[in-house]
Amino acid sequence: MYEIIMNSVDDTERFAIKLANILEAQDTITLEGDLGAGKTTFTKALAKGLGVKRTVNSPTFTIVKQYEGRLPFNHLDVYRLAESDEDLGWDELFYGDAVSVVEWAHLIEQDLPQDRLAIEIYRIGENERRFVLIPRGERYEALCEELMK
C-alpha cells in the first residue's frame, strides 16, 4: 500500500499524467471515494495523459464511455449498478486493448480483473486529497514503485 498527499488539483493532474505515461493495454484502475473526492478530476487528467482529445466527463447515466488516445480508454461509473447483477460484457472491456478506469468499483467487485490498481481518494481539505494506492498483482506493484520514484 502506498500513500500520496495531493495539495492541489495541479498535484492530482501531474500524478495522473505520470501514471498515464506508464500504463499499457488491459491495465485496470479502480477508484473509490466519496462524492466530490476527486475521482472524475483524476480520470480527466489520466485521459489527458493518454492523449485523449475529447472532453471526458462522468458516464453516470451511460455506465461506460470510450475514448481514443495513445491507447483506447474506457471510463466506467458503475454507481447505478448497485442493485444489479447484469453482465455488461466486462471481459471485452477489461481484457481488450484499452486502459479502464472504474469509479465505484466495489459495486462490481466480482466482475473486476483480479490484478489491478485500486486507488482510494480521501478529501482532507478544500483542495487536499490523500491517495491510497493498493496494487493487486506484480504488474501493479511495479507500477507503484515507478510512480514513487
**Best-predicted range by mean pLDDT among 51-65, 77-91, 97-111?**
97-111
**Amino acid 68: pLDDT:** 94
- Calculate helix-pair angle for 9-20, 39-49, nearest 10 degrees: 40
* Annotated domain spans of the chain: 1-146
Question: What is the rounded average pLDDT of the residues 34-40?
Answer: 88
**Best-predicted range by mean pLDDT among 49-58, 88-97, 121-130?**
121-130
Total residues found in the chain within this entry = 149
Q: Cα(40)–Cα(58) distance, rounded to whole angstroms?
A: 6
Q: Cα(89)–Cα(94) distance, rounded to whole angstroms?
A: 9
Average pLDDT, the chain: 89
Global pTM value: 0.90
Report yes or no: 28 and 102 within 8 Å, Cβ to Cβ.
yes
Q: Angle at Cα 119 formed by Cα 39 and Cα 122, nearest 5°? A: 60
With a CB cutoff of 8 Å and minimum separation 6, the contacts of 95 are 26, 113
Report yes or no: 76 and 62 within 8 Å, Cβ to Cβ.
no
pLDDT at 132 exceeding the cut of 60: yes
The CATH number of 1-146, from 3.40.640.10, 3.40.50.300, 3.20.20.10, 3.40.1580.10, is 3.40.50.300
pLDDT tens-place string over residues 1-33 = 999 999 999 999 999 999 999 999 999 999 999
